Structure 1
Amino acid sequence: MPGFFLRPIVLATSLLAAQQALAVGAGAIQFGNGSIVKDGAVTTVNQKTDKMVVLWGDMNVAAHETLNFAQPGKTAAVLNRVIGADPTQILGALNASGRVFIVNPNGILIGNQAKVNVGSLVASSLNVSDSDFLAGRLNFSGNTQAKVVNEGRIDATESVALLGQRVENRGTIHSQRGSVALAAADGVSLAFAGNGLQVKLTRGSLQALVESGGMIVSDNGDVMLSAWARDALTRAVVNQTGKIEAGGMGQLRGIRIASEGSGTVTAGGEMRVTGSPANGPERSIEVSAQGIRIADGARLDTAGAQDSIKLHTRPQAGGAGHVTFGDATFKADYVDIVADNVLTAAADAGLPTFSAGAIVLSAQNAKAGYVLNRAPDAESMSTLVGGTGSVSSGFLKAAGEQNLWIVSQGTVSALGAVNASALSLAGTADVDLSGGFNGKQLNAWGNSIKLGGTTQADSVSLAAKDVTLDGIVATSRLDVDGYARAQTTDRAALSTGTANLSGGQIDFSRGTHTLKHVDIDANGARLSLAGDTAIGRAKSRGDLTLRSAGKLVADTLDASGNVDVVARGDASFGNVSGNGVALRSTDGKAAYARLDAKSGASINGARGVDAGQTNASSLTLASDGDVRIGSDLAIRGPVDISGRNVTAAVVRDGDTQDLSTRARLSSANDVRVAAKGNATLGNVGGQSVALAAGEQLDVASVAAQRDVTLDGKGGVSVRRAEATRGALTLNSDGRVRYSGPLVANGAVSVRGGEVVAARDSGLPAPVIIGWGGISVHGVHSVDLFAAHSGGDLRVTSDGDIRFTGGLWAQGGSSSLHGKSVTAVGSGPNRLSIYATGDVSVSADTAPTLGAVYSRGGAVRVTYPAQSAQIRLADEA
């Protein structure tokens, strides 16, 4: 191809210098078949082959002229190469059914009255060789400062591309089914793909600049404004201030504003992705550059439910990536920002407005972090060092009104409090919010998290290897997951409606915390609580320690280690399990439904204890108030119960001979019950049993391997009692009543104001059997059924003594002394008094007796005014 001279056109006025003297010049067909016919003001280029090259001295179309291209099809292409020294000026009409290429190194102007109607249009100040064009290799290159400018109206069935070092659109460009591209560089590669265009910038330019202040509409395709500038750190290389609409059905799926080299892109005006997307990936408005400036008044709007806005920086040597927001509006499903620095304008300027499901900010430098609330002035953006990461307070506030995510593998910290409605910080490094947070929702993930200052939010969620709360947190919901540890400091003061705590070791023992409802799942947990608290489920794979200054209610406490709970107010629990369990209320009541302890359990309630089902190695229930046993207790070790009144609740219907309706208390070890008032118990069993009451002691039955002691100052009532290998003692200042057998391998001692054997139906006879001896003393009276002693038998009273069965001392002597002594019955039905040793009966009146005899001793019956010596039966 013959060479030609390139004359730079620098100023736009040069393009307009000779507008009134224009006419379509002569053209020569260099390649292909066709003809050029001029008929007055109308010039027609007839193209007969699929591709054709036409050389023009000039290719100007005056305002009254028309240039037509008659082409064989919509993919037919004609290359119009202008070899003259002047720019091409299209001021009239240009019509074509196929693809029209105009190449003029001196520039191209489409005037404000021009009307271009084509299949596709490529207007370029960059050159493409004839051989590449004919082979379909659309590789454009050149080194010219000439402009390609559109001020008129371009309508294309398919695509439009304006190429050069400097490209401007002040008019209207409309594509029905294709793409629109404005590209500034020293090298550009094009490819028609379907109805659209693929555009690639292949070499940068020192003067690259794209400006669009007009309107660009692609009904179904894409719009691309791109420039590749070299050494342009301090200037804008793409300025979009007009209006762009794209259907987004091309390969780019929307609008792309890009700087492939250094410099800044200004995104202003209005950009919209219109219509509803067909099946396929999301559509987007994408802006990419080393620096991105979102101008005041800009509006970026996508229509689809999954469409996005992407602002991606490309840091260059000597300058960090940055995005600066003015008073702009964004509407999308989500906004994706990749930048080391995100800034807003001066404090007195407007902030951007976001309408998006989420705004996601991530660093261009993968390991870069961010300092929140640190924002350099706009004038110093070019001096920012990549990776330092600055996010202005204005952006946090504006983006946080929706749902702002900051994703970083580096440290994220903040200067002062962060103000954002909804903020999520996600990364693998450290997060330091020592100044606190003010908004609706805070989420943070990292290696370590520190939250200090004052935080006020509807919800706070923190997840990291190490979480430290070092300030005031007031929130409706708090979620903390410390994989290794979560802790509070002395400065911490947590106030929340619901708290979920999980991870490794949870230590909230320092500071002052009001957590109304808590759930815990951790390797170990220590909590100090200021107000009333409800715990849903607290699970610890180690120890679980709770301290509460108010009331404490828990559904489940589950620890592999020890459970240690102290509450000032009432402490009420559902299920409690642990190695050892200690539950204490210092000023209130302690209650639980079920307790399982591998070792010991200790429950202390200052004003009362309500014990439910219990399985433990040992059990202590202690209170200055009442103690209620609400379920059968089966304990492996010692049992110690003390309180004002101790009551075993009624837990089953209908008494039977061996089972009371009241809760049972059994242990494989000793059982001790001490009540300052009354003690009302069911069946009690243990190694040894000691039951004491300051007033009335009422127990269904007692069975012990060793000693049994029943001591009720106001009275003792028992159905039956047995000390298999020990002694049995019943003691009271009031009435002692028993309705079944009293049996001991050792001695039996019964002492009371009154002693009454009251036989109940369904029970064996109330016999006293003491193989180590029997001693019965009733201050006021004694009313026995029968007594069998393996040693001495002693029955004494200051009042009357009555017995309805035999009194036998088979290993010792028998002694009865009372105001009166009566064997109930008549004649031969009166039962006997028998002893292997001496028998002594004394009374203030003549006793009424049946047979009285001694096997090996003396029998003496005495009463006033009469004394008799009775011989043994075998001596009579």
Structure 2
Amino acid sequence: MSRVFCFIFVCFFGSCLYSQPVGPEVISGSAEITKQGQQLLIQTQSDKTVIHWDEFSIEAKELTHFLQPHVRAATLNRVLSATPSEILGSLTSNGVIFLINPNGILVGAEGRIDVNGLVASTLDFDTAAFLRGEDLLFSGDSAAAIENLGLIQGGDEGVFLIGRHLVNQGDILAASSEVHFGAGHHILLKTKERHIYIHPDLEEHSQGIGVDQRGRIEAGKVEIQAEGNLYELAVRHRGEIQALATVEREGEIYLVAHGGEAVVDEKGTLFAGKTIEVLGERVTLLDEATIQTQEAGKIVIGGEPGREQSATHTAIATNVLVNSNLSERGNGGTVTLFGTEATAFYGNVFAQGGTAGGDGGIVEVSGGNLFYSGMVYTEAPKGSDGLLILDPTNITISGGATAGGTFSGTSPTNVFSLAFTAGAATLNSGALNTALQSNDVLVTTASAFGSAGNITISGTTNLNAATTSHNLTLLADNNITVSSPLTFIDSAGGTSTLTMTAAGDITLNSSITGSNLAAIHLTTTGTGTIDLDNAINASGIPVTITSGGDITSTGGGTNLLTASQCIMTATGDITMTNDIIFTGNGSGSALTMTAGVDFNHDNTMTFNNWGAVMASTTTGDFHVDAGTVCTGTGSVTYHGGVDLFNEGGTNLFNDTTGQNTNLTLSAGRDITINSQIDLNNFNSATLTAARDVIFNNDFEPDQTTTVSVSAGRDITHTGAAADIIANNGTILSFTAANDFTSDEPITISNFSTVNITATSGDVNLTVAAVNIPGANTTITAGNDINILTAVRNVASGDMTLNAGNDVNIGPVAIVSQIGTADGVLSVTTGRDLNVIGGTGSSDRSQLGFNAVLVDSDIDLTIGRNINVTAGTNSSSVALIGHGFATAGMYSGDIIIRSVGGDVTITGDTGAAGSVKFAQIGHSRFTGGTSSFTGDIRGATAGSPAAISGALTLTGGSDTTCFALFGHGGRDSNALETYSGNIRVQANDIVLTGGTSTDCNASIGFFIVSQGGGANPVIVTPTSSVEVISDTTLTMTASTNGIVSIGG
């Protein structure tokens, strides 16, 4: 049937061979072809019909109509001769028309194609694939063009123009579907997806223009693609394209020059409902070109960072308009201008939020090298303004001219000369400041394209968010360096932030100044260092400084930081090398510095006007190698996650305001004082260690109200030059969970309260004197108190000793003494009180005081025994009571509230040496005129000293070695007056005289005369002696020694 129709056609229309398509041969399917005047009707009965023609042209005023069985039926028309197709009249169809002519296809100015779908090509494909409904691979060597000067209208199946050269100077309309241009040698049409793919041509021909779009295209989606290697200019658009959104489609335009150059020429227009992409090896938008979406959509010019199909060079000329605004309600769109090697931007981009609501959009201007000299607007009148992203390889922000690319020539194929030079991009600070008036700005080198990715501030940079608050963020793939002053002012709303984030280092060689900002943030995300070598001036602004590596500062004498709040955090070390000043904004300000490893405080740090300062380490040590000065600061805390210690010279900590600041030094393990540390004028100073506090050098608090030292284990004060000198405070306390040990001098003056505590261990005071004038002093030990030195209060104040076990005074080759001149000396033990004379000549162990004027009670509550034993050398004395070698007035009761065991007083231990004695009572050894007043009694006046066990007194074996329970001692021809009531009650009382001269055992008043002549001794008449033995009273004299009760 088909062949018959074809034969009839040739014979019947032989005389009109060139006025309508001629020479048909139906290759597949069925078709009836009839002609009436200037109209040619081809009626097909198949879904797929293939007709070969000798020629396929339509003259002016002629009509060729394909009537197909349904709208998706397709007829393939292939021209076999060498004659181009010229559509000067009308070609219509209710279905899809394929027109294949390798000699070229022209739609004339009056020509009109109106079909449900059109595929026109100068390339060919496999007919069998067409008949099977498969994808079609177009190929061929034809260099002929498809050119439209008239009108092409496509229905639901769209319009596809495929060939080597495609030109549109007319109108192509497919409002409900798509328009696709494909220029190249090998093009795949995905029939079901209705999408074309350009296969790359490996040979570079560089001839002519692939797609020259000078007309008007309207469709739901427009995609123009060309194989760039084939052309001098792959895609050139200088007309108008509209892809409006419909219910079925969002509206898309794609101009793609695969490996070649895409140009939107002067006054060229792309207008899409949602998406516009212009891609190629090189992409250029010329002066007054317009790229616009109907609603806030996505516009991509050149490509996108990380996208494989991106231009190497992208240029946007002056007066180019790129618009992705939303007119009424909703968010602004996304616009990306990108070239992998270089991007030059001179135009105008809008991605604003709706006037009735919505946020601004995102605009990214990126390139390996970046020339930014245009304008971007992402404001949102009823929402949050949008973001401008500038993303070069390396960039310098300065007051100098913008650099990175320049205009060169007027040829549409070479409008810009964008030779790529690494590290050459310069962003003019004025251009940046202009951008900040309309956008948040992110300057980033995150897409560093294999280069360093540095951001440098070079040349004074002054920024001011004058109209609306906007944020500035610098994000570097490598380093950020501030080499010249950077100033950022928010004159509008005070909500702007300045953020610097680097994968490498941040270095402040020059200052950063903020005014009226919401915050300043500095962050290194890798292991980079933040070098604070110049000031951050941010008065009234919170600042965060976060380093994945170290934070260092070497700026000497610099006001390093002024802020309302500051959080400084380093994964590694924090090191402050030179004198540093930190300034806050009053009591509400807080400065927090946290080092993941060590904190190195190498020189003086000054804190002005902070509410609280906290400097600490997490897993490392805190090195306090210099002083701290505080002015108007509420508290300063230094904490070592492991140890805290100091080295170097004197560390002066000073509160210049005067007792305003609370200072805390703490450690997760030990605090070690290796060099002198002075704490002056603080409200409080606290040292707290989870393990030990070790004083290897001087510790000198002065004018500090409260000083507290505590340890989870031991406090050790043993360094060769480690004096503790505390002056002019209120409370001084040392608290160790285990032992407190001191063998170096402790001098405390003008404190009202002093506490030394070893909660579960010993208090050991050895070798050097402890002077605590004027303080109420408490020494507490969970175990023993061992005093091998002098602990004296020469002024008023109580002294209290509390031991869970024993209190041991002596023996040692030194004076071991504890006492107060005016106050109560109280001793409470869980076990024994041992007072043992020294091992050297004239060594004394004394619980009491020796001074010109003493008025002090001695109050004893002993859990087990009292042992008072003379020493092992001449004049070695053990004494519970006041007096000894200084002429004066001594008064005070000795109150023995209870003794759970025995009281043993022994004149000597049998070693050679005279004038050794042991005594409970006020004593005279040498000196001038003196008086001694006080009772020896029990808990209440008139009650006896309560001894549950035995009271045993034993004289010695050498001259003047005696044991005495009462007042007296050894006389030296001076007036002595004794007054008091001596009362004692024990279970047994045993007095044993010694074996040598004046080796006596006595209860009461007793004087050993020595030196010749009578001793003027007076015992007042009101004095008394009362001895009560619950069981036995045994008195044993020796040949030369006597025993006595009384006076």
| Alignment TM-score > 0.5, same fold | yes
Q: 1:385 aligns with which of 409, 419, 429?
A: 419
Contact residue 166 and residue 207 of structure 1 kept, 8 A: no
Distance 1:529 1:149 in 2: 76
Residue in structure 2 matched with residue 748 of structure 1 by the alignment: 845
Distance 2:239 2:717 in 1: 86
Q: Does 1:824 align with 2:976?
A: no
Distance 2:600 2:246 in 1: 58
Contact residue 342 and residue 369 of structure 2 kept, 8 A: no
Q: Could you tell me how far 1:470 is from its partner in structure 2? A: 1.9
- Which shows bigger deviation, 759-768 or 578-587? 759-768
Residue in structure 2 matched with residue 618 of structure 1 by the alignment: 694
Q: Could you tell me how far 1:363 is from its partner in structure 2? A: 4.1
Residue in structure 2 matched with residue 167 of structure 1 by the alignment: 167
Q: Does 1:758 align with 2:857?
A: yes
Residue in structure 1 matched with residue 283 of structure 2 by the alignment: 291
Q: 1:710 aligns with which of 785, 788, 791?
A: 791
Q: Does 1:548 align with 2:605?
A: yes
Q: Could you tell me how far 1:175 is from its partner in structure 2? A: 5.3
- Which shows bigger deviation, 499-508 or 127-136? 127-136
Q: Does 1:815 align with 2:970?
A: yes
Residue in structure 2 matched with residue 804 of structure 1 by the alignment: 936
Residues 234-259 of structure 1, C-alpha deviations (whole Å, 9 max, x = no match):
x6732154233276999999532112
Residues 761-803 of structure 1, C-alpha deviations (whole Å, 9 max, x = no match):
9667998946341344683332242795643353387344233
- Which shows bigger deviation, 433-442 or 453-462? 433-442
- Which shows bigger deviation, 583-592 or 389-398? 389-398
Distance 1:851 1:697 in 2: 33
Residue in structure 2 matched with residue 657 of structure 1 by the alignment: none
Contact residue 209 and residue 227 of structure 1 kept, 8 A: yes
Contact residue 494 and residue 515 of structure 1 kept, 8 A: yes
Q: Could you tell me how far 1:526 is from its partner in structure 2? A: 0.8
Residue in structure 2 matched with residue 279 of structure 1 by the alignment: none
Q: 1:635 aligns with which of 714, 719, 722?
A: 714
Residue in structure 1 matched with residue 817 of structure 2 by the alignment: 729
| Counterpart residue type for residue 670 of structure 1 | D
Distance 1:205 1:53 in 2: 35
Residue in structure 1 matched with residue 24 of structure 2 by the alignment: 28
Flag the 1:250–1:872 CA change in 2: closer, same or farther, 3 A.
closer
Residue in structure 2 matched with residue 677 of structure 1 by the alignment: 750
Residue in structure 1 matched with residue 483 of structure 2 by the alignment: 452
| Counterpart residue type for residue 289 of structure 1 | E
The DSSP-based 3-state class of the residue aligned with 1:832 is strand
Contact residue 148 and residue 167 of structure 1 kept, 8 A: yes
The DSSP-based 3-state class of the residue aligned with 2:607 is coil
Q: Could you tell me how far 1:607 is from its partner in structure 2? A: 0.8
Distance 1:112 1:189 in 2: 30
Q: Could you tell me how far 1:690 is from its partner in structure 2? A: 4.1
Q: Does 1:579 align with 2:640?
A: no
Contact residue 858 and residue 892 of structure 2 kept, 8 A: no
Q: Could you tell me how far 1:37 is from its partner in structure 2? A: 1.5
Residue in structure 2 matched with residue 442 of structure 1 by the alignment: 473
Residue in structure 2 matched with residue 196 of structure 1 by the alignment: 194
Distance 2:224 2:984 in 1: 131
Q: Could you tell me how far 1:432 is from its partner in structure 2? A: 4.3
Residue in structure 2 matched with residue 536 of structure 1 by the alignment: 592
Distance 1:264 1:286 in 2: 7
Contact residue 342 and residue 392 of structure 1 kept, 8 A: no
Residue in structure 2 matched with residue 780 of structure 1 by the alignment: 889
Contact residue 801 and residue 818 of structure 1 kept, 8 A: no
> 1:400-419 maps to which residues of 2 (within 5 A)?
401=440, 403=442, 405-409=444-448
Q: 1:514 aligns with which of 550, 561, 567?
A: 561
Residues 347-406 of structure 1, C-alpha deviations (whole Å, 9 max, x = no match):
xx65666854463735499x9944554133222665433464765748977597454544
Flag the 1:736–1:252 CA change in 2: closer, same or farther, 3 A.
closer
Q: Could you tell me how far 1:74 is from its partner in structure 2? A: 1.2
Q: 1:76 aligns with which of 63, 74, 77?
A: 74
Q: 2:529 aligns with which of 453, 469, 486?
A: 486
Question: Identity, % of aligned pairs?
Answer: 11
The DSSP-based 3-state class of the residue aligned with 2:57 is coil
Distance 1:190 1:251 in 2: 23
Flag the 1:835–1:358 CA change in 2: closer, same or farther, 3 A.
farther
The DSSP-based 3-state class of the residue aligned with 1:610 is strand
| Counterpart residue type for residue 653 of structure 2 | S
Residues 270-325 of structure 1, C-alpha deviations (whole Å, 9 max, x = no match):
34354xxxxxxxx77352232332654523438688x663623999xxx9623335
Flag the 1:102–1:483 CA change in 2: closer, same or farther, 3 A.
closer
| Counterpart residue type for residue 560 of structure 1 | G
The DSSP-based 3-state class of the residue aligned with 2:173 is strand
Residues 708-738 of structure 1, C-alpha deviations (whole Å, 9 max, x = no match):
3233332242123642544432466x52531
Distance 1:604 1:183 in 2: 84
Q: Could you tell me how far 1:154 is from its partner in structure 2? A: 0.9
Q: Could you tell me how far 1:180 is from its partner in structure 2? A: 1.6
Q: Could you tell me how far 1:46 is from its partner in structure 2? A: 1.5
| Counterpart residue type for residue 573 of structure 2 | G
Flag the 1:762–1:85 CA change in 2: closer, same or farther, 3 A.
same
Distance 1:398 1:828 in 2: 98
Distance 2:985 2:290 in 1: 122
Residues 518-539 of structure 1, C-alpha deviations (whole Å, 9 max, x = no match):
3323332213642236443512
TM-score (norm 2): 0.65
The DSSP-based 3-state class of the residue aligned with 1:523 is coil
Distance 2:51 2:423 in 1: 53
- Which shows bigger deviation, 397-406 or 576-585? 397-406
Q: 1:95 aligns with which of 87, 93, 96?
A: 93
The DSSP-based 3-state class of the residue aligned with 1:375 is coil
Q: Could you tell me how far 1:510 is from its partner in structure 2? A: 2.4
Distance 2:230 2:984 in 1: 136
The DSSP-based 3-state class of the residue aligned with 2:408 is helix
| Counterpart residue type for residue 521 of structure 1 | A
- Which shows bigger deviation, 563-572 or 699-708? 699-708
Residues 419-477 of structure 1, C-alpha deviations (whole Å, 9 max, x = no match):
xxxxxxxxx65554445775833343435443322334623333344443322224633
Flag the 1:846–1:834 CA change in 2: closer, same or farther, 3 A.
closer
Q: Does 1:311 align with 2:387?
A: no
> 1:143-162 maps to which residues of 2 (within 5 A)?
143-144=142-143, 146-162=145-161
Flag the 1:828–1:342 CA change in 2: closer, same or farther, 3 A.
closer
Contact residue 822 and residue 855 of structure 2 kept, 8 A: yes
| Counterpart residue type for residue 591 of structure 1 | L
Flag the 1:195–1:803 CA change in 2: closer, same or farther, 3 A.
closer
Distance 1:67 1:332 in 2: 44
